Amino acid sequence: MIKNAVYAQSGGVTSVINASAYGVIKKCFSCGEIGKVYVGLNGINGIIGDDLADMDCEEPYEIDLLKTTPASAFGSCRRKLSESHEDEFKKIFEVFSKYNIGYFFYNGGNDSMDTANKIYNYSKKIGFELNVIGIPKTIDNDLYGTDHSPGYGSSAKYLATAILEASLDVKSMSADSTKVFILETMGRHAGWLAASASLARVNANYGPHIVLIPEVPFNREKFITKVDNTVRRTGYCSIVVAEGLNDEKGNLVAHFGATDSFGNKQLGGVGSTISSIISEELKLKVHTAVPDYLQRSGGHLSCYTDVNEAVLVGSMAVHYALQGKNGYMVSINRISDDPYYVTYDLVDLAEVANNTKTIPNDFITEDGMDVTTEFIKYAKPLIEGEYYPPILNGTPRYAKLRLIR
């Protein structure tokens, strides 16, 4: 009997996670071997709670718009499964049974692959016929077993564009006003996002001058010296810092800084901490930007390469599931940097769930405050190409789904 498929999204969103949904849905519709495509609303919560939407009820035009619609069109979640809560697994498989599910596609990062792996293991344990395939997604680019993760390229393009433009701004103002600009990026454990801002230099001679990543402990003296030298040499200084920057003792630099009005230490304030340090030591005027969600949902600046790869990891997940592959995540395997070419392979879910990928040493300069040309070679193809969303009345027209239960 023909089986149905269920797909869900999990973890922090990206500009292109819905492009992977598009890949899954289109491939399921066209393959002729899968019945209905359901989507779990708000990730695994929707499956546990029997809250599924039937993709047959959506307008084809809106499904097409998923390619350019950022964030999670079906809702995401932060829920983690634990083997000690078997009731959750029981509910999941009751729902799978009720809807005649034979294929489960879970789209997310490390934690989501852990969830997918646990569901895979449980299906084996109870002898439920199910193909589980994970679909990679994270702006952090820290997923193990894949050259890079869909979502990273578009955020990298956003941040490179942002620091390029802000560097022009601070350069403009530096003659008699602001001399330092700081861009605070996401990235708690890995500096891939902060590092990506260095791609701005591909089209400009200036900025960012300093890149601070969690992989290298922050050294206040060396940092201040480099800012001072840069301002003396070029008239201004443009800095990118990852939120997860640590000092030499392993403490978050963000915690050095501001306390809120209730006396609590504020999180995510590494930009303002660094700013305070510069103001105090060098008496320079500093501006700080914290794009926060804007860097991961900036669909107006989606990258063509990234959208295309996101669609393909989705459709290849269906392709491999139909071949009987089970318990894997689709991975991107780079064949060549320039001209850029990749293939789509598989990696064990368990391997992905238990590892993370930080920036290798040969991508980091000797002073620890910049990236090397090796990094540029790696990251440059990932921001290539534009995929502008359709615009209506001056702002993007994103997908409007009906989500019929």
**Position among 33, 62, 64, 161 found at the interface with a copy of itself (CB under 8 A):** 161
| DSSP category for residue 202 | G
SS3 state of residue 253: helix
- Omega into 136 within 30° of 0, i.e. cis? no
**Position among 69, 123, 146, 185 found at the interface with a copy of itself (CB under 8 A):** 69
Side chain identity at 208, as an amino acid letter? Answer: P
Q: Is there a catalytic annotation at residue 338? A: no
Beta-carbon contacts of 312 under 8 Å, excluding residues fewer than 6 positions away, are 23, 344
Report residue 96 as tokens: 């799978």
Q: Please tell me the distance from the alpha carbon of residue 106 to that of residue 136, in angstroms, as a whole number.
A: 9
**Position among 35, 45, 64, 348 found at the interface with a copy of itself (CB under 8 A):** 45
- Strands 180-185 and 210-212, bridge-based pairing: unpaired
Catalytic residue among 111, 114, 140, 306: 140
> Rounded to 5 degrees, what angle do the CA atoms 152, 153, 154 make?
95
Q: Which stretch binds a copy of itself (CB under 8 A): 88-96, 214-222, 298-306, 318-326?
A: 298-306
Q: Please tell me the distance from the alpha carbon of residue 126 to that of residue 124, in angstroms, as a whole number.
A: 6
166 touches a copy of itself by CB under 8 A: yes
Report residue 74 as tokens: 């079906």
Residues in the chain: 405
Residue whose entry in the numeric block shows the structure tokens 């990730």: 43
Q: Please tell me the distance from the alpha carbon of residue 84 to that of residue 77, in angstroms, as a whole number.
A: 20
284 touches a copy of itself by CB under 8 A: no
**Position among 224, 282, 284, 294 found at the interface with a copy of itself (CB under 8 A):** 294
In the complex, the smallest distance separating the C-beta of residue 130 from a copy of itself, rounded to whole angstroms, is 24
203 touches a copy of itself by CB under 8 A: yes
- In the chain the first and final C-alpha atoms are separated, in Å, by 23
168 touches a copy of itself by CB under 8 A: yes
Q: Which stretch binds a copy of itself (CB under 8 A): 95-103, 114-122, 174-182, 314-322?
A: 174-182
In the complex, the smallest distance separating the C-beta of residue 204 from a copy of itself, rounded to whole angstroms, is 7
Q: Which stretch binds a copy of itself (CB under 8 A): 29-37, 291-299, 340-348, 363-371?
A: 291-299
Query: Which of 56, 386 has the CB closer to a copy of itself?
Result: 386
**Position among 175, 249, 336, 338 found at the interface with a copy of itself (CB under 8 A):** 175
Q: Please tell me the distance from the alpha carbon of residue 403 to that of residue 100, in angstroms, as a whole number.
A: 19
In the complex, the smallest distance separating the C-beta of residue 241 from a copy of itself, rounded to whole angstroms, is 14
Element (H, E) at 240: strand 237-242
206-265 residues in contact with a copy of itself (CB under 8 A) are 256-262, 264
**Position among 35, 54, 173, 333 found at the interface with a copy of itself (CB under 8 A):** 173
Q: Which stretch binds a copy of itself (CB under 8 A): 26-34, 105-113, 143-151, 284-292?
A: 284-292
In the complex, the smallest distance separating the C-beta of residue 250 from a copy of itself, rounded to whole angstroms, is 19
Side chain identity at 184, as an amino acid letter? Answer: E
199 touches a copy of itself by CB under 8 A: yes
Report residue 98 as tokens: 């009720």
- Are the C-beta atoms of residues 76 and 11 closer than 8 Å to each other? yes
**Position among 109, 150, 269, 327 found at the interface with a copy of itself (CB under 8 A):** 269
| DSSP category for residue 73 | T
Query: Which of 222, 397 has the CB closer to a copy of itself?
Result: 397
315-374 residues in contact with a copy of itself (CB under 8 A) are none
**Position among 123, 198, 246, 272 found at the interface with a copy of itself (CB under 8 A):** 272
Would you please indicate which residues are annotated as catalytic (active-site) residues? 140
